[in-house]
Amino acid sequence: MEQQTQTTPTTDAAKRPVFLTVLCILSFIAAGLAILGYITLITVMGAVTAGASALEGMSGEAGSAGAAMSEAMSHGPSAGMTWAYIAVGFVTVLVSLFGVIKMWKLQKIGFFLYVGATVVSIIMTIVYSGFGSGMMSIVFGALFIVLYGLNLKHLK
């Protein structure tokens, strides 16, 4: 007669609540899209900056176009501020992704990393774009902080 033994999985997936799993998967998707967006933004900004610099050095119509492009760019946030926003944004996405990975492994430090990165991201968005433009960032950031906070009791 065969003896069947039932084994219970001892992996983190067996202990991780479904709600936390869904939140982490949504955060993984959002972080992946944000990383792709920042890489694209860095590439485009680099090309625009290089193109404007090259056109400014030329004479004639091309030089006028470069000067006009520089003038148009000077009415918005400065290039230095834009690059700072991109750098801080990219770093906060990476830190929050690391925090989500830690929460996936049921480590409480991940929650604090995620909260810190999200708060910095919200502040930088408000500084760069203004309060009205940063509303979606504030709403979604606060929502996910609260939702992850509801799962703190499952984290060690």
pLDDT (tens, 9 = 90+) of the chain, 156 residues, equals: 555 555 555 555 558 999 999 999 999 999 999 999 999 998 988 887 776 666 656 555 555 555 555 555 555 567 778 888 899 999 999 999 999 999 999 999 999 999 999 999 999 888 888 777 778 888 999 999 999 999 999 999
pLDDT for the residue numbered 114:
98
Tell me whether residue 76 is in a domain. Answer: yes
Q: Which domain does 130 fall in, by range?
A: 18-154
Tell me whether residue 11 is in a domain. Answer: no
SS3 call for 128 = helix
pLDDT for the residue numbered 70:
55
In Å, how far are 2, 18, 54, 57, 71 from 62, measured between CA atoms?
85, 59, 9, 9, 14
Determine the Cα angle at 72 with ends 63 and 81, to 5°: 115
Tell me whether residue 83 is in a domain. Answer: yes
- The alpha carbons of the chain give a radius of gyration, in whole angstroms, of 23
Tell me whether residue 12 is in a domain. Answer: no
pLDDT for the residue numbered 46:
80
Decide: pTM greater than 0.85: no
Tell me whether residue 58 is in a domain. Answer: yes
Q: How many domains does the chain fold into? A: 1
Tell me whether residue 4 is in a domain. Answer: no
pLDDT for the residue numbered 63:
53
